[in-house]
Amino acid sequence: MSLTSRLSLGLVLSLMTGLSAPMIAPAFLGNVSKSTSFASSLAQAQTAQAQTAQAQMPSFSDVSTDYWAHDYIEGLAKSNIISGFGDGTFRPNDPVTRAQFAAILRQAFLQSQPTTAQPFKDVPANYWATGAIASARSAGFLSGYPDNTFKPNDRILRVQALVSLANGLKYPAGNPQSLSNYKDADTVPAYARPSAAAAAQANLVVSYPALDQISPNRAASRAEVAAFVYQALVKAGRVNPIAVKPERRWQITPTMTFAVQPYQVSLSENGQRLAAITGQSIGAPGPDIQVWNAQTGSLLKTVTTEAPDSVFNAVAISQDGTKIAFIKTTPSTGAIQLTVQTIEDGRVLLTKSLNPPKDQILETNYPITPGVLYVVFSPDGKQVITQVSLNSLNSQTYQSDTLYNRLDFQDIATGKVTQSIDMPLVEGLYTKPILSPDGSLLATPSVSLPRSVYTLGVVIWRRNNSRFEPLTTLPGAFFGDRMAFTKSNLFTTTTSGSYDTWNPQTGERVQSNGLPREECIQDGDVLPSPDGASYFSNYINRGACFGNIQTGEFQRNFGGSSLIETGFFSGDGDSIALMGDREIRIFTKAAP
């Protein structure tokens, strides 16, 4: 199956997940409430980009030009088939209900279709989508259940959307063999196989990031529905096909090497600036922070601790590369201090103690020392999120207990804490908080106690005005940098054997990809890239390896003189800093 065909097949299946009413064209929005808005969320297609004429600023703030479904969404918007929400977003990962799907079908294919079909008993005459549902039923796109119900608020599945398009557009039954290129073809229900095969043969199916999975039985996202509908319009000759952009590969020669002993590094969004804690001991906090231009190698700034026994434990650089934030500890006094300052002139924007009040720390008879210390910038650079944990160590049994563990959202301009989140009191939970690129979602580790049998997972939080509220909990033991948000706000997690993509809005696993049992992936860390389609892995003294989920390609032979290297991706996923024991190496993707 060609790449275009595989992309098309994934697109069709996506149509069924769940659009909300604003996804439909503005002319339709007058009769749609905010709660049922449908047409504003079609996204996610980084593997396919529009032709040069379409390469322009996106219409929706949450659908970037390099998003996998950008061209499908923009194409439908220009055709007045879909529109966005009032805040300028499209919400591509939101699910699509059956009523919303009917509304999109009407806007795309049924403008002149009569609405004489028998009404469903659970669709009132004054329901916002009654006309669209009747039109879709009359034309053969959608049917109800044996008891004459339609269940308009149920999420539409990918396979249901594909079957709907194939049936409504009167495609002849397809050859079931056309589904054989999908690893999960056996999960397509028997009733749907002829129509799903027809959709595949018509290039309606578009799957991302795993082109070889049809994922028939999960809810379709707005982005996926947009892709399915667009491909159906291509089949009908109403729009031009989307041009497939060649994949960029990682260069095997570093663009820059810094001969230092790093403890922690942070890259700006575009990978042009690098901040690192450096020192004289391998794997230990250091007395210096250095900021470089990662493209030219020039040293832009050095920050040194004032006290002889002070060290830097955490550092972060803002997305725009203009500010750094760091946490410094002084063992002799127990002080934990946060500082935010500009890079160009060193102007201090915020400095404050992070030591919690004593009445917030569990009592202990043993010395208290800092545990996990992290700092990250919010995408807009107006806040930093700090994580501070405190441990006690029994000098006789060497058992360590966590006494305090909290996230604080620090407003840089005022120095005030706008929100605090108590974290699990589990020692060694070395996972920093992760924000989505637009700042609307937050991921933190989850632990279900009792400690002797605790279960690990990830809590996804959603921003509501100025505060984060729990959205869903994803299962699995994810630690360190083995999880990331993609630029389209999907969530990726890795283990040594699989690369999984989740939709935080629905809590569903979107794709699950097995990883090749290569020598540098078998026992090493596997770090997902923000592009949602690639990963970095390493193994002791064997250098760096990069894999591509879409193509299955695995690049080796990146060399390196370090025993172990840890990777840190830039926010755009086009650069990575490999931190070894004696150097930092910068790698970038080459132009196609």
User: What integer pLDDT is reported at residue 52 of this predicted model?
Assistant: 32
Q: Is the dihedral of CA 443, 444, 450, 451 positive or negative?
A: positive
The mean pLDDT value for 372-390 works out to 95
Residues 312 and 189 placed together within one structural domain of the fold: no
pLDDT in tens, 444-454: 887 765 555 55
Do residues 533 and 488 make contact, with C-beta atoms less than 8 angstroms apart? no
**pLDDT tens sequence across 437-485:** 989 999 988 776 555 555 678 899 999 988 999 999 887 655 556 889 9
Domain-embedded: residue 402: yes
Q: Are residues 211 and 297 in the same domain?
A: no
Residues in the chain: 592
Bond preceding residue 92 cis, omega within 30 of 0: no
Interatomic CA distance for residues 62 and 487, integer angstroms: 9
73: left (phi over 0), alpha (psi -120 to 50) or beta: alpha
Q: Between 42 and 309, where is the model more confident?
A: 309
Q: Are strands 566-569 and 467-475 parallel, antiparallel or unpaired?
A: unpaired
- Does the pLDDT at position 523 exceed 60? no
Which range marks the domain in which residue 389 is found? 256-588
> The domain spanning residue 493 has which CATH number?
2.130.10.10
Q: How far is CA 173 from CA 180, 207, 274, 316, in A?
A: 16, 21, 56, 56
Which of 48, 82, 13, 487 shows the shortest CA–CA distance to 224?
13
Spatial separation of the C-alpha atoms in residues 55 and 534, rounded to whole Å: 23
In a domain, 193, yes or no: yes
Among 235, 269, 301, identify where a domain stops.
235
Among the ranges given (12-26, 300-314, 514-528), the one the predictor scored with the smallest mean pLDDT: 12-26
Is residue 387 included in any domain, yes or no? yes
Total number of domains constituting the chain: 2
Q: Indicate the residue among 173, 200, 235 that finishes a domain.
A: 235
Between 521 and 109, whose confidence is greater? 109
Q: Which segment, 7-11, 44-48, 73-77, 335-339, is predicted with the most confidence on average?
A: 335-339
User: What's residue 512's pLDDT?
Assistant: 82
297 shares a domain with 168 = no
How much is the pLDDT for 23?
45
Name the residue with higher pLDDT: 50 or 589. Answer: 589
Instruction: Based on the fold, state whether residues 272 and 409 are members of the same structural domain.
Output: yes
Q: How confident is the model over 240-294, as pLDDT tens digits?
A: 998 877 777 888 889 999 999 999 999 999 999 999 999 877 678 999 999 999 9
SS3 of 478, please? coil
Residue 364's SS3 state is coil
Here the tokens at position 336 are 């934990």
User: How far apart are the C-alpha atoms of 253 and 592, rounded to whole Å?
Assistant: 16
128 belongs to a structural domain: yes
Token pair for 45: 């297609």
| Measured distance CA(126)–CA(120) in Å, rounded | 12
| CA pair distance 409, 580, nearest whole angstrom | 31
End-to-end Cα spacing for the chain: 22
What is the average per-residue pLDDT within 215-232? 94
Give the pLDDT confidence score for residue 3 in this predicted structure: 31
For residues 13 and 128, state if they share a domain.
yes
State whether 161 and 310 are in the same domain.
no
Mean pLDDT of 374-392: 95
Of 186, 204, 235, the residue at which a domain comes to its end is 235
Whether 248 is in a domain gets the answer: no
Type and span of the H or E element at 462: strand 455-464
Q: What are the angstrom distances between the C-alpha of 106 and each of 219, 223, 340, 560, 564?
A: 20, 18, 53, 57, 57
Output the CA–CA distances (angstroms, integers) from residue 362 to 269, 330, 444, 453, in the order listed.
38, 21, 22, 22
105 and 52 co-located in one domain: yes
pLDDT at 428: 60
Domain match, 193 and 315 both: no
Angstrom CA distances, 307 to 262, 310, 330, 333, 341, stand at 20, 5, 8, 11, 19
Band of pLDDT at residue 398, cut at 50, 70 and 90: confident
48 closest CA partner among 427, 424, 550: 550
Task: Supply the pLDDT for residue 519.
Answer: 63
- Of 517, 562, 566, the closest CA to residue 537 belongs to 566
Q: Can you point out the beta strands (E) in 254-298? A: 256-258, 262-267, 273-278, 288-293
**What does pLDDT average to over the chain?**
82
Per DSSP, 48 falls in state B
59 belongs to a structural domain:
yes
Query: Is 246 within the bounds of a domain?
Result: no
| pLDDT tens digit sequence for 526-575 | 888 888 878 888 766 566 788 888 777 778 766 665 556 788 999 988 99
- Give all strands of the β-sheet with 417-422 in edge-to-edge order: 368-377, 383-393, 400-411, 417-422
Considering the domain architecture, whether residues 206 and 264 belong to the same structural domain is answered as no
Give the pLDDT band (50/70/90) at residue 234. very high
pLDDT of residue 13 exceeding 90, the answer is: no
Q: Which residues contact 346 (CB under 8 A, 6 or more apart)?
A: 301
In a domain, 245, yes or no: no
Q: Are residues 196 and 106 in the same domain?
A: yes
Q: Name the pTM for this structure.
A: 0.77
221 and 278: one domain? no
Same domain, 192 and 303: no
